[in-house]
Amino acid sequence: MLTGVYLRFACPDIFADPDVRSRISACSLAIVRPAKMLRVENLPANHDLEASPDGSASRHGSGGGSPCGSRGCVAIIPEDDWNAYTRRHHLGAMTAFGPLLVVEKPLGARRSVTRGTRRRMRLAPGAGEHGPYLIQPGSFLPRGPGWLDRARNRHVEHRVRSAMQMLGIERPVVFLTSPSQRWFFELGIEASAVCFEVSDEYSVYLEYPSGRDARVRAEMIEMVRRSDLVFTTARSLATDLAEYSDEVHWIPNTAVPEDFAIHDSTPALPSLADLDGPVIGFIGGVNPWIDLELVVEITRLRPEWTIVFSASIDGPDAFLESAEMSAFRQASERIRFLDWVPYDQLSGFLKGVDVCALFHRADEVGRYIHPNKIYQYLASGKPIVSTPFLPELEDFDGLVRVAANARAFVEAVEDELARDDEGRRRARIARARDSRPELRARAKMEHVERVLAARNGSPRHGEFDGDRPPRASRRSM
């Protein structure tokens, strides 16, 4: 009722919609009784979640013989849709160690009304016995004074607790994936360990190219200090953050090799069928972290080549209206942009290209980026040429050619095409298989088990008490 009163006065344009009014009436119950409203969708017939008379479910057993026992994992992601989260395969691999509950980005007051809340827990596409299971808390309470935020957090906590109870998860290992998720520490959920996954230097990434965002940097450092373990995808991130924690570990990105393997039966994208000359492919679109000048110079040096991006141009207005972008657009006769290629068609995209490229700028942002696409390219077996943006490229034993400028890039492409053979293709594919998500997940859980053993499995509470136990020495993978 209070939610309806708030929306009637604060959002009259929303409340005027009759359908919205009915949603308010139905969804407000979830704020009061979230556990009773939780259901499970897409439950396979042979699953060990047993339906209760009211339509909810409960799990029997304790997670088998996994290292985590009945603890399981809870992951909070920064996206409001699991399928849009580019690192979902990293987290999905944690199901090897017990049930995984993924909490999608909670909806705010306005979006909860216009979109409606998802009161049902869902199985992710392709999920196995242990999930991933997805929930998305929604609240009609807006952000505001401290008491209002506490009320919102309380609702999120009820939703997470209900889902954990259904899955038999006790004292989970929690994975946080964004500095904006500090609110987790205000919840009362007992966690065996809290892990912070850092895939970007967020303070530079969000403000590029104008510098660091001091507020985001402070939030990021706070998250590092409050977490039991920190996992970074780039070595430079691990080095920078080691100042704030002794438990910072570099575990690189990954990809599912089978999803990018190219076979005779793999259909190439029709949009690539009519392209002449060597085709240079890039998974992703053009954004401020792409070296536009290098791409333009490559088209000038080899006008017969075609450069293809699997997505379009995107970025802030300052980037889209820059002189650099203007020159890039003028030189784009031999540059193709596709509508966003779905994940399950990326192998077809790679089949239609001759060389895979990494066009990232070699600057302050680039050294913090360790893209998934390195491993996606390796899994395809195609030659790879990159700018020197990432120091770790030296670790790939020549499987990724590094070129310092446009002319060197062109020469590297031509050399790779001339020298490519079955042996080099197999070496690339083998490297991708050695970096698969299950191996990365195992490395993380070994750190978790070590930390838990050091403190005899004592739980961590969501509420941070300010004092941390002594940390073990830092390790890297």
Considering the chain, what is the average pLDDT of its residues?
80
C-alpha–C-alpha distance, residues 381 and 369, integer Å? 22
> What are the residues whose beta carbons fall under 8 Å from the beta carbon of 344, sequence distance 6 or more?
259
The predicted structure's pLDDT at residue 20: 43
351-to-100, 150, 272, 348, 454 alpha-carbon distances in Å: 34, 51, 9, 5, 48
pLDDT in tens, 251-273: 999 999 999 999 999 998 998 98
What are the structure tokens assigned to 320, written together? 């889209």
Three-state SS for 241?
Answer: helix
Which range has highest mean pLDDT (126-130, 253-257, 451-455)? 253-257
The count of C-alpha atoms lying within 13 angstroms of the C-alpha of 140, restricted to the half-sphere facing its C-beta, is: 28
Secondary structure E strands in 184-302? 190-191, 193-198, 229-232, 248-250, 279-282
Q: Is the pLDDT of residue 367 over 50?
A: yes
> Most distant CA pair in the chain: distance in Å?
71
Higher pLDDT, 115 or 232: 232
pLDDT in tens, 56-104: 444 434 444 444 545 799 999 988 789 888 889 989 999 999 999 999 9
Q: Are 63 and 95 in contact (CB under 8 A)?
A: no
pLDDT range class, residue 40, cuts 50, 70, 90: low
pLDDT range class, residue 43, cuts 50, 70, 90: low
The predicted structure's pLDDT at residue 7: 43
pLDDT in tens, 18-37: 544 444 444 433 333 333 44
34-250 — its CATH code?
3.40.50
**Lowest-pLDDT range of 22-36, 228-242, 362-376:** 22-36
**Lowest-pLDDT range of 26-35, 316-325, 341-350, 363-372:** 26-35
**Lowest-pLDDT range of 109-123, 371-385, 388-402:** 109-123
Q: Hey, what amino acid is at 193?
A: A
Strands 131-136, 118-128: pairing kind? antiparallel
459-to-160, 192, 228, 473 alpha-carbon distances in Å: 17, 4, 11, 20
The predicted structure's pLDDT at residue 348: 95
pLDDT range class, residue 243, cuts 50, 70, 90: very high
Q: CATH second-level architecture of 257-433?
A: 3-Layer(aba) Sandwich (3.40)
The predicted structure's pLDDT at residue 315: 81
> What are the residues whose beta carbons fall under 8 Å from the beta carbon of 98, sequence distance 6 or more?
63, 64, 66, 68, 69, 70, 71, 72, 73, 130, 169
Long-range contacts of 187-190 (CB under 8 A, 24+ apart): 187/153, 187/156, 187/157, 187/160, 187/462, 187/463, 188/157, 188/461, 188/462, 188/463, 189/74, 189/157, 189/160, 189/161, 189/164, 189/461, 189/462, 190/459, 190/460, 190/461, 190/462
Q: Tokens 């996992």 correspond to what residue?
A: 231
C-alpha–C-alpha distance, residues 463 and 471, integer Å? 19
Q: Is the pLDDT of residue 113 over 70?
A: no
The predicted structure's pLDDT at residue 54: 41
Higher pLDDT, 125 or 117: 125
Q: What is the mean pLDDT of residues 188-212?
A: 78
pLDDT range class, residue 115, cuts 50, 70, 90: low
The predicted structure's pLDDT at residue 210: 58
C-alpha–C-alpha distance, residues 179 and 172, integer Å? 20
Q: Tokens 């006790």 correspond to what residue?
A: 170
136 sits in which H/E element? strand 131-136
pTM: 0.81
C-alpha–C-alpha distance, residues 19 and 31, integer Å? 19
The predicted structure's pLDDT at residue 109: 57
Domain with CATH 3.40.50.2000 in the chain: 257-433
Q: Is the pLDDT of residue 134 over 90?
A: yes
The predicted structure's pLDDT at residue 418: 96
Q: Is the pLDDT of residue 438 over 70?
A: yes
Q: Tokens 């409606």 correspond to what residue?
A: 116
The predicted structure's pLDDT at residue 29: 36
313-to-14, 86, 142, 196 alpha-carbon distances in Å: 33, 18, 33, 31
Q: Tokens 């450092």 correspond to what residue?
A: 221
Long-range contacts of 59-64 (CB under 8 A, 24+ apart): 59/99, 59/166, 59/167, 59/168, 60/168, 61/168, 62/168, 63/98, 63/99, 63/130, 63/168, 64/98
